[in-house]
Structure 1
Amino acid sequence: MAVVRAVGVFSKFATGKYHLLSGRASRSFSMSSTLAARTHVSYELKDDVAVVRLHDPTAKVNTLSSQMQSDLKEVMGEIWSNKSVKSAVFISSKPGCFIAGADINMIQSCQSSEEAARLSQEGQKMFEQIEKSPIPIVAAIHGSCLGGGLEFAIACQYRIATRSKKTVLGTPEVMLGLLPGAGGTQRLPKMVGLPDAFDMMLTGRRIRADKAKKMGLVNQLVDPLGPGLKPAEERTIEYLEEIAVGVAKGISNKKVPLTKEKSLKEKLQDKLMDLAPVRKKIFKTVSEKAQNQSKGFYPAPAKIIECVQTGLEQGREAGYLAESENFGKLAMSPESKSLIGVYHGQMACRKNHFGFPEKEVKKLGILGAGLMGTGVAQVSIDKGLTTILKDTDVESISRGQEHIYTSLDNKVKRKFMTSFERDVIMSNLSVQLDYSGFESADMVIEAVVEDMDIKHQVLKEVEAVIPPHCIFATNTSALPVTEIAAASKRPEKVIGMHYFSPVDKMQLLEIVTTDKTSQDTIASAFSLGVKQGKTVIVVKDCPGFYTTRVCFHLTFETLKLLQEGISLEEHTAIGHSVGLSLSIPLICDEVGLDVILHISEFLFNAYGSRYGESDTRLLETLLERGFKGRKSGKGFFLYEKGKNYKSVNTQAVEIIKKVPLTYHPSISSAWDIEHRLISRVVNESLLCLQEGVLRNPVEGDIGAIFGFGYPPSIGGPFRFVDTFGAERLVSIMRKYEEVYGAPFTPCQLLLDHAKDPSKKFYK
């Protein structure tokens, strides 16, 4: 299941004055004690239309905080009591954000499910008042309209949205282990139909304005304006307000219909959905799919389905009650607490604590047009960075350029962007075989093969042509950055930037620093990563850094389990049963078994017995047969070019059976296998914090979740220790240690937490 996505960072906008109009006379009031307390909502009358502006001066986005809700209730009371007001428009003064959702802190402050349920009920009552407003209300949407923001919008009588890329609508509550708790489970299905409503609520998927219009979620679209005498954002908001005011007037004088006449097809679909057997089939199908995707680790999807079904079968009041009660239960669930912790962790990992870089990275050089280099180039040009992609042969360069173009063109075909936008993005990229243009680069990222000699060679070549301020970043998954920097004339400008494959889809960027890396170099690398859309963790250099070092414990334990007789299918099922989103054998195939062997030998040499016996015969035997993974068409699984379908490689299975074990397996129940996998990851993670490789538990949890698929439902290795119990985990590991040795020896930090139960990584 996907984990929560960031809403983004937006600029602040000053709050305007409060204006009230009586009839045609307008007067500006001084700030009375009541008005002074109203800081998040203001309004003015334009003729007989009340234009209500939303603006939280304390945050980068608008949320439905207690102050926002209080101000809204007060303003709506004033408007409804003013007989001269015939209609209203809700619009945000914050560029790029209508309302980004509920205030998560309000939910976290609840001490019981009853208290959380009351929060839901308050939202339901407020939006029901909006829905039953004596005057028509138009929601003018520009920017993010998510969660409670969307519930607010669909309670209004009419919705207008800009076609801007920033305008997205969605119900992401499921990603926080919650459900739409302010009437969303009841209104959304009636507005867009069961299939689309379930798709939005069960996936948290964001909908662009064009699609929202087709679904019936939005009544009207407005094109954004370009820059003029004022910035584009400001002009767009002013234009949106102008259109919305005109529509509000049209609704109040009956010139603009609130609903459009449905087509015959739509009427037939509605009648079909009213049939009990059809609805029953939909609920059954959706429930089975949700169960398969959540693997039983996430209770929110089932509760969402329950709320919708209750409302349709027993009426809205029963639906509201089910919604608030289930919201309360979910808010107190460990899964929701973990997912909210992940959300906060993501936000923390997008804040640059290293200061502003002396020089912004505007021109980027990338060495190596393979999978990684091409991916880094794609996420860079997409954000407007001038990028040079260099390789040593024409074939590699052409293949890399074609891959980027095809990826963007697929977005054009799916109407996520226009062909013009695709061409503008591609214009940021140049490909070449030499270093021309590197003399003006602000940063160079090398993504060549994992070979120290080759990395030293390209470092020396690059330093001969780049300017003094230029940073050299190495994209390596395991090689010590300190050793790479040893070949540099200016090691303070050398840093590791470990991207994950596929780069355009994987959120994490692991920045690796040496003792000589300057603060400004770290700040520049962090700033670039955030600009590329990454969630960034910063770790100290060591063999394998954090993510590779920890992930390979999963790899080695998996290889052991396969040799013990656990089938590939069983292993995948067991991994899913503990919430691991990625199959380790599949990861090995994707990375390449030759690369896995190379890193395995490297880590064995670096850390010795803690990674188990240095027995790589299984990997060596598979490679002797040409089983390199996806790139050779055969690994643990079989692959066909251009197809996602894969099947078990029975020849690999036979090889696994024949490679003898060097110990006698005695602990292999499903429960034990799960905890063998998890405990090794947890122990090594804590060891990384103990050694100072990690800066804090938050980055450790985020790195594990987004780096190698650690279960978000239990919040990461450090949150797992807090909830599972350090003493209990140590007891389990001691049992495994007796059989499997050093890989299960608890580290000192874990032992310290076991001795003192009051010690927690999270307060």
Structure 2
Amino acid sequence: DEGLKIEQEVALEVTGTRISSNLISVFFMNNALGRDPGFLPATANARDVKSVGVLGSGLMGAGIATAHARRGVPSVMVDVGQDRLADGLKRACQVIEGRIKIGRATPQDMQEMLTRLSTSTSRAVFSDADVVVEAITENETLKKLAYGELKSLLRDDAILCSNTSTISITRMAEAAPHPERFVGMHFFYPVDRMELVEVIRGAKTDDDTVATIVALAKRIGKTPIVMQDCPGFLVNRVLLPYMNEAVLLLQEGASMDDIDKAATKFGMPMGPITLSDLVGLDTAYYAGQVVSTAYADRAKPTPILGDLVKAGRLGNKSGSGFRKLNKKGKPEADPDFAPFLEKHRTDNRQFSLDELTDRLFLPMLLEATRVLEEGIVAESHHVDMGLILGIGFPPFRGGILHWCDTEGASAIADRLGKYASLGKRFEPTESITSKRVFFPRAKTVG
């Protein structure tokens, strides 16, 4: 009885708070995604997918092939050499081995996955595939060349997908065998753990193609969000201003640790400097180039990234980036980074926690409102759930637009005013100036 009384008291402290309200909202938003038609009319038909091909056996390609094979979809992984394919198969096995260790899979699951996952150095094996997912280097020229080579190999009714994280689907469709059956299917790393799949429709993508890929994503246990084409799509378009601002803050004098701490105190799973090193500075640089070019009116260049990439400092995968990995594989400060920073230093001042938080998250919020205003996604909950599932935006805040509702558009506008001298990236959008409430029925409690 005493234990129940204590539990009741604690429950009453939590019930009705802003955090509990936000977490309840996340629950309902996630359920809504499961029923979401994603810009699709009722007449759209999802085709039955019996086999999938994956072009590329790197981190993403192997993850995508494994995700299908372990959920019962026969998959073939194609790459240029047996060594690469062997590495891809090793990664596939590591996924199941990890699940066996925690009791979520059995040796039989491993055997069944391997019976469904095959490899080849010949793209001719794609001739039987219902869906082919391209997961090669994030380079538009290389991707278009690959599509041209696939034209004579794919079935006439096959769907071709790209796992690109930023490049225009509409533009790349020009090189695809059938633009109406070309679509973005963007997975997140690591594929076995990340639930989100962005389904990006190009200008010519037909409804049945989108419906088929949405159904396939759900079949392999993912949560798809359908969106219109734009540079960076949803998640990377909103994420990159945050990542870019972290580099600008570093150049202005903020320490890496203080920048990362501001993000983690806000609730992010890791700070932006740590995240850059994790995903790879080359990946961050090239994705940033695509997005910065598209939104040049508000994107401030950070050439330090290009210098680091040219010097071979690619982050964790090369052993050094912003930080270096020690002998135990843990990141630590690297004195060799100092010359790069000094070359690009713009100031050397101190920052408060509040200022660091504003500088990181206000540009992210503004870009999120633009995505909604432009109709890239249909609903506010698409933005919030996309960031929660795609980058680990803190669920207890309900998502970035819920956070805006909690703070209030007027208060956000006042905070933006402090940074007006920094240019358009801190200029209030129409949603902010009109004091838009993104979730009108959500009540602020506590």
Q: Provide the TM-score with structure 1 as the length reference.
A: 0.55
1:447 corresponds, among 112, 135, 138, to 135
Inter-partner Cα distance in structure 2 for 1:413 and 1:360: 33
Which AA in structure 2 matches 1:373? G
Q: 1:621 to 1:724 in 2, by over 3 A?
A: same
Q: Tell me the distance in 2 between the aligned counterparts of 1:386 and 1:577.
A: 43
Which amino acid in structure 2 is aligned with residue 579 of structure 1? G
Of 331, 349, 359, 1:676 maps to 359
Stretch moving more, 570-579 or 320-329: 320-329
Distance 1:368 1:376 in 2: 10
Q: Distance in 2 between matches of 1:441 and 1:673?
A: 49
Structure 1 CA distance, aligned partners of 2:409 and 2:101?
51
Q: Which residue of 2 aligns with 1:533?
A: 221
Correspondence 1:761 to 2:439: yes
User: Offset at 1:488?
Assistant: 2.4
Which of the residues 70, 73, 93 maps onto 1:405?
93
Match for 1:628: what amino acid? L
1:752 deviates by 1.3
- What is residue 13 of structure 1 aligned with on the other side? none
Task: Give the CA deviation at 1:667.
Answer: 8.4
Q: Give the direction of change, closer, same or farther, for the CA distance of 1:695–1:644 in structure 2 (3 Å limit).
A: farther
CA distance in 1, matches of 2:424, 2:102: 51
Q: Which letter maps to 2:323?
A: F
Counterpart residue number, 1:620:
306
What is the rounded CA distance, in whole Å, between the counterparts of 1:694 and 1:416 in structure 2?
34
Matching residue of 1:378 = 66
Summarize the Cα distance change of 1:460–1:587 in structure 2 as closer, same or farther, 3 Å threshold. Answer: same
Matched, 1:742 2:424: yes
Change (3 A) 1:358 1:678: closer
Amino acid at match of 2:340: I
Superposed CA offset, 1:703-743 (max 9, x none):
111212222221111111211100110111021122x1111
Whole-Å separation in 2 of the counterparts to 1:360 and 1:639:
46
For residues 359 and 340 of structure 2, the distance between their equivalents in structure 1, rounded to whole angstroms, comes to 24
Instruction: Give the whole-Å Cα distance in 1 for the aligned partners of 2:229 and 2:381.
Output: 18
For residues 233-281 of structure 1, the C-alpha deviation after alignment (integer angstroms, 9 at most, x for no partner) is xxxxxxxxxxxxxxxxxxxxxxxxxxxxxxxxxxxxxxxxxxxxxxxxx
> Aligned pair 1:349/2:37, yes or no?
no
Mapped to 2, the partners of 1:433 and 1:332 lie a distance apart of 58
Distance across 2 between alignment mates of 1:674 and 1:718: 16
Measure how far apart 1:414 and its partner are.
4.6
Q: For residue 647 of structure 1, what is the aligned residue in structure 2?
A: 332
The 8 Å contact of residues 367 and 446 in structure 1, kept in 2 or not, is answered as yes
Number of residue equivalences? 437
Residue of structure 1 in register with 2:264 after alignment: 576
- Which runs of structure 2 are paired with 1:154-233 in the superposition (5 Å)? none
Unaligned runs of 5+ in 2: 442-446
CA contact (8 A) 2:253 2:345 kept: no
Q: Which amino acid aligns with 2:186?
A: H
- 8 Å CA contact 1:682, 1:717 repeated in 2: yes
Counterpart check, 1:560 vs 2:248: yes
Name the residue aligned to 2:212.
Answer: 524
Call closer, same or farther: CA 1:610–1:330 in 2, change over 3 Å: same
Alignment of 1:497-508 (within 5 A): 497-508=185-196
| Other structure's SS at 2:199 match | strand
AA paired with 2:332? S
Deviation at 1:420, TM superposition (A): 2.3
- One-letter amino acid of the counterpart of residue 65, structure 2: A
1: CA distance, partners of 2:48 / 2:58: 26
Displacement of 1:588 after TM fit? 1.3
Counterpart residue number, 2:444: none
Equivalent position SS for 2:76: strand
Query: Unpaired runs of 5+ in structure 1?
Result: 1-315
Residue number among 331, 352, 372 corresponding to 2:15 in the alignment? 331
The answer (yes or no) to whether the contact 1:636–1:653 under 8 Å persists in 2 is: no
TM-score normalised to structure 2 length: 0.93
Structure 1 range deviating more: 367-376 or 616-625 = 616-625
Note the 1:576-595 alignment, pairs <5 A: 576-595=264-283
Q: How far apart are 1:464 and its partner, in Å?
A: 1.6
In 1, distance between residues paired with 2:47 and 2:438? 40
Amino acid at match of 1:682: L
Superposition map of 1:29-178 within 5 A: none
Please name the residue that 1:297 is paired with.
Answer: none
The aligned counterpart of 1:237 is none
Given the superposition, is the C-alpha separation of residues 449 and 659 from structure 1 closer, same or farther in structure 2, using an over 3 Å criterion?
Answer: same
Question: 2:5 aligned with 1:321, yes or no?
Answer: yes
Q: Is 1:474 paired with 2:162?
A: yes
TM-superposed CA distance for 1:413, in Å, is 4.5
Q: 1:95: which partner in 2?
A: none
SS in 2 for 1:437: helix
- 1:715 maps to which of 398, 402, 405: 398
1:632 is paired with a residue whose SS is coil
Give, in whole Å, the separation in 2 of the partners of 1:512 and 1:720.
26
> Relative contact order (alpha carbons < 8 A, sep ≥ 6): 1 or 2 greater?
2
Structure 1 equivalent of residue 341 of structure 2: 656
State how 1:630-641 maps to structure 2 within 5 Å. 630-639=316-325
* Deviation for aligned residue 1:489: 3.8
Give the AA of the match of 1:635: G
- Structural mapping, 1:7-18, within 5 Å: none
Between stretches 436-445 and 493-502, larger displacement belongs to 436-445
| Equivalent residue, structure 2, for 1:423 | 111
Q: Which amino acid aligns with 1:580?
A: M
* RMSD of equivalent CA atoms: 1.9
2:167 maps to 1:485: no
Q: Distance in 2 between matches of 1:446 and 1:726?
A: 41
* Cα 1:633–1:712 shift into 2, 3 Å: same
> C-alpha displacement at 1:546, in angstroms?
1.2
Question: Once the two structures are superposed, what CA deviation does each residue of 1:592-643 show, in whole Å capped at 9, x if it has no partner?
Answer: 212222222222221113122x2x32112322432111121111222368x5
User: What is the one-letter code of the residue matched to 1:337?
Assistant: S
- Which amino acid in 2 is paired with 1:686? T
Cα–Cα, structure 1 residues 413 and 603, in superposed 2: closer, same or farther, change >3 Å?
closer
Partner of 1:702: 385
List per-residue Cα deviations over 1:533-562 (Å, max 9, x = no partner). Answer: 112211110111111111011111100111
How big is each residue's C-alpha offset from its partner over 1:38-79, in whole Å with a ceiling of 9 and x where there is no partner? Answer: xxxxxxxxxxxxxxxxxxxxxxxxxxxxxxxxxxxxxxxxxx
Alignment pair present for 1:726 and 2:414 = no
Preserved CA contact (<8 Å) 1:582 1:708: no
Within the candidate set 124, 149, 167, 1:436 is matched to 124
Distance across 2 between alignment mates of 1:413 and 1:735: 51
